[in-house]
Amino acid sequence: MNAIFRFLGAAAALCAAGLCQAQTTLTVAAFPSVDKIVKSAIPAWKKLHPDVDIKVVAREFADHHNAMITSLATGTGLPDVMAVELGFLGRFAEARTLDDLNQPPYLAAQYHKRFVAFTIGQATNQAGELAALPTDIGPGTLFYRDDILKKAGLAEADLTRSWESYVEAGKKIKAATGAYLLANATDIQRIVIRTGLKEGEGVFFDKNNKVLVESPRFVRSFEMARAVREAKLDAKIGAWSNEWSEGFKRGTVATQMMGAWLGGHLQNWLAPGTRGLWRAANLPAGSYGSWGGTFYAIPKKGANKALAWEFIKFMTLNKDNQLAGFKAEDAFPALIEAQNDAFYDEPVPFFGGQKVRLLWRDAVPRIPALDVAKHDAVAEEVISTELDKVLDQNKDIATALADARALIERRSRR
């Protein structure tokens, strides 16, 4: 009996001395490959905050965002820190269920200048609240097969001078090598509508929610897509399909316009056998754009907000963590000072020794900020369907755009 009491007393004393310190757990919800970036940053985090564990709840891309939608709807099961991709950020930010990071105690306004300019705009909703901080971006670039280009007797400038020269180059490539210029004519349409925007315009809607789909850039985008399709320059395959990756492996697709992160995919699994044959260039006709981007947010009904904010600052404002994400998972840093490093000057073997990272870094400041609207997804679908009719059934472009405007107006009234 006495021995038991003595033992219990000793245990209590040890606990009091701090060996049984209360461990806080911070829950971070993420998707591939953001989850890998978070997990690899945990050792560094533990050095700063030894008493805070990080629990990473990783789900596939679609599942993660659906889980976040239901958690935000019901207010339960929310993580402390939420990773959000650009495509979903608009609706989460407009829903106003994420904390405004400009307000106290976060006061993120002091950090705005440290991030690439257009990302702050993407994370700000119509009420002016900053719903999330950016962690990585996808600077748009044109990947092309140098060997195919040379066989057709062309140079990079022929591809990038203007959209017309891009299409002409495509015809020469088809004649000389039989390879398609690009995977799908819809790709060119999607890029052209994102260039030449006036101040205060979004892609489909302007500041007053007026539908912009009959403007010249839309007409031109449809005309370019039709020109590509009529010259049989596109392989008519969807991105991320088996045929698409097969097209890269066999060299039947000569160019692809996408975010810089596609380089990592090409190297790892899409076409590892084509090492050294690819090059990267800026998008044709002096266009600049970005594909995707990841952000971190704090839900209004989340817990551990102070620690969550520390974690977000740790991942987004820390140069070493941003660079680590870039080196390991091709996550191009959104933090400007993380773009100053010897790593960018290295020649990249997959691109035949080209210093692609410098190219992308120089493109980043020129990417325009695009306003995100609530009904962008619907407008995207309407335009995509009308484009299908124009390409597949020869529908007149002006009629197609007028129908698109009517349909978008009807749907966006809700």
Q: Which residues, including other chains, have CB under 8 Å from residue 160's CB and lie 6 or more apart?
A: 142, 166, 281, 282, 283, 284, 285
Point out which span in 21-29, 124-132, 322-330, 371-379 binds another protein (CB under 8 A). Answer: 371-379
Size of the site for another protein (CB under 8 A): 38
280, 359 Cβ separation under 8 angstroms: yes
Considering the complex, what minimum distance in angstroms separates the CB of residue 334 from another protein?
23
Angle at 360 between CA 324 and CA 207, to 5 degrees: 105
Considering the complex, what minimum distance in angstroms separates the CB of residue 42 from another protein?
29
Residue 353 lies near another protein (rule: CB under 8 A): no
Q: Give the whole-angstrom CA distance, residue 11 versus residue 3.
A: 12
Point out which span in 94-102, 155-163, 216-224, 260-268 binds another protein (CB under 8 A). Answer: 94-102
Q: Give the whole-angstrom CA distance, residue 357 versus residue 205.
A: 33
**Residue from 9, 32, 75, 292 in contact with another protein (CB under 8 A):** 75
Residue 127 lies near another protein (rule: CB under 8 A): no
Sign of the C-alpha dihedral, residues 73, 77, 82, 85? Answer: negative
**Residue from 53, 85, 94, 146 in contact with another protein (CB under 8 A):** 94
Closer to another protein by CB, 226 or 313: give it: 226
Closer to another protein by CB, 70 or 103: give it: 70
Closer to another protein by CB, 307 or 377: give it: 377
Residue 238 lies near another protein (rule: CB under 8 A): yes
**Residue from 237, 281, 335, 397 in contact with another protein (CB under 8 A):** 237
Q: Which residues pair with 201 in a beta bridge?
A: 206
Considering the complex, what minimum distance in angstroms separates the CB of residue 53 from another protein?
28
Q: Which of residues 270-299 bind another protein (CB under 8 A)?
A: none
| Closest residue by Cα to residue 44 from 311, 326, 309 | 311
Instruction: Write the interaction track for another protein spanning residues 197-236; mark x where CB under 8 A is met and - where it is not.
Output: --------------------------------------xx
Angle at 314 between CA 311 and CA 316, to 5 degrees: 105
**Residue from 246, 310, 329, 337 in contact with another protein (CB under 8 A):** 246
**Residue from 122, 252, 322, 339 in contact with another protein (CB under 8 A):** 252
Closer to another protein by CB, 247 or 325: give it: 247
Closer to another protein by CB, 88 or 332: give it: 88
Instruction: Write the interaction track for another protein spanning residues 378-407; mark x where CB under 8 A is met and - where it is not.
Output: x--x--xx--xx--xx-------------x
**Residue from 95, 231, 303, 358 in contact with another protein (CB under 8 A):** 95
On the question of a cis peptide bond just before residue 33, with omega within 30 degrees of 0, the verdict is yes
**Residue from 11, 73, 107, 155 in contact with another protein (CB under 8 A):** 73
Query: If you compute the radius of gyration of the chain from its CA atoms, what whole number of angstroms results?
Result: 25
Considering the complex, what minimum distance in angstroms separates the CB of residue 252 from another protein?
7
Distance linking the first and last C-alpha atoms of the chain? 74
Closer to another protein by CB, 87 or 121: give it: 87
Residues in touch with another protein (CB under 8 A): 62, 66, 68-69, 72-75, 91-92, 94-97, 235-238, 240-243, 246, 252, 374-375, 377-378, 381, 384-385, 388-389, 392-393, 407, 411, 414
